[in-house]
Amino acid sequence: MVEVIAIVGPTASGKTALSIELAKRFGGEIINGDSMQVYRGMDIGTAKIRPEEMGGIAHHLLDIRDPGESFSVAEYQLLVREKIAEIQGRGKLPIIVGGTGLYVQSVLFDYRFSKRQVDEELRKGLQDELERSGPGAMHRKLMELDPDIDIHPNNTRRVLRALEILLSGEEKEDGSLAQTPIYDEMIIGLDVPRDELYKRIDDRVEGMMEAGLLKEVRRLYDSGLRDVQSIKAIGYKELYAYFDGIDTLEEAILKLKRNSRKYAKRQFTYFRNKMPILWLDATAGPENKLEEIMRFWQENDRNRRIEQMAKTIR
């Protein structure tokens, strides 16, 4: 029996709408799987679901940090696993929804984090690698581990620090990140043709501007928030450049659209390479998606029963 469902995919692929349909159909509760939706007051730019859109479904881990606070994948893993147990204890189905691949992966698989400080051997090794390979190679290595991180390739200090944090987690003997599932999970991915996705992203950005994104970011800007994790998010950093006088508003919006498209491409790459996913056509109707999910669910249950019988016979 499926214990946890995750719905993943690039920005603007329709994850929110599908999650509500699934939660209603299967008696689920939804857990945020987006690294930026944890922040209060960052609603429009993160495409956070509005209360009137929730359809009476309980949503968890939204608005749990102030924008000036940091938030790590290790913290997320701990909170979500606790929330999964809590939801299951109520007889409900946990449904993780979001596009931050590393966050979702860290919860569903045996992805371990060290509680010790980064050791000097790791730090020295990364520094030596930087000297051998150069900043570009180190930045590519970082993006392979976490494509959601937004650090300029030339900012080697921040690139190395991010690598230290990510690589301080336990690894398999072969060096790959842990891939052993810890739940009986079903991961659903929404696939969108590239042209359609880019149109959706452009339309979403225009909609965000009409909904008051400029005002939302201005409030953060005027509060004095600068070099913090939250405002590095797409949709915020571009408008900060506008308020700083670096870009015109038109230039900032164009960069926001461009960066969103690049981010969507990185999301696709991560999901396709890191997790076993049932990919659905995002342009299909809700009933078609639900029918395919049910077929997959039933087939998996049948296979699991066969495997269990085989173990019993042996």
As annotated, the binding site for substrate includes 11-16
Structure tokens given for 97: 């929804």
Q: Where are the beta strands (DSSP E) in 91-153?
A: 93-97
Annotated binding residues: 9-16
How far apart CA 174 and CA 253 sit, in angstroms, is 43
Q: Identify the helix (H) or strand (E) that includes residue 286.
A: helix 286-313
Q: Would you say 37 and 62 are in contact if contact means Cβ atoms under 8 Å apart?
A: yes
User: DSSP per residue over 287-313, as a string?
Assistant: HHHHHHHHHHHHHHHHHHHHHHHHHHH
Q: Radius of gyration (Cα) for the chain, nearest Å? A: 20
Closest CA to 235 of 269, 211, 271: 211
Annotated binding residues for ATP: 9-16
How far apart CA 202 and CA 211 sit, in angstroms, is 14
The DSSP call for residue 191 is E
The DSSP call for residue 146 is -
Give residues with Cβ within 8 angstroms of 271, minimum separation 6: 8, 9, 101, 189, 277
Work out the widest C-alpha separation in the chain, in whole angstroms: 72
SS3 of 190-236: EECCHHHHHHHHHHHHHHHHHHCHHHHHHHHHHCCCCCCCHHHCCCC
